[in-house]
Amino acid sequence: MVRWILNLSIRFPSTEVTHPSVPDIYAAIKNDLHNALPLLDPASQPDDYGRATIPATEQLLENLIKNYEFRLLDNIGDIHAFGNDVNDELVFSRLYGRNRLTN
């Protein structure tokens, strides 16, 4: 009834999801890593073991240039699927505990 009185045109946002191209993704990752370098420590600190460091980031940058066998998953919904914590799309991941169910 409100629509008829006010003559509203209701538009819903698109729910279509598309992947950017692989070169665009690599460019974005490389850009993020270059931007992170000045913010990182040159070595791991004892109280923050496992944190990214300058050498680790530089090594990751070098490896990205080699273009290993990383690939985007065919179904974007699979990225967060239960039990899919190891897949071809992961470039850098970290295990936060010993129990895989709580990570």
N-term to C-term CA, the chain: 49
Q: Is the pLDDT of residue 2 over 50?
A: no
pLDDT in tens, 29-71: 889 999 999 998 888 776 766 778 888 888 888 877 665 667 7
Distances (CA, A) of 57 to 16, 81, 88, 96: 33, 28, 20, 19
Q: Distance between CA 90 and CA 25 in Å, rounded? A: 13
User: Which of 97 and 57 is assigned the larger pLDDT?
Assistant: 57
Q: How far apart are CA 36 and CA 54, in angstroms?
A: 9
DSSP state of 60: H
Q: How far from the centroid of its chain's Cα atoms is residue 91's Cα?
A: 8
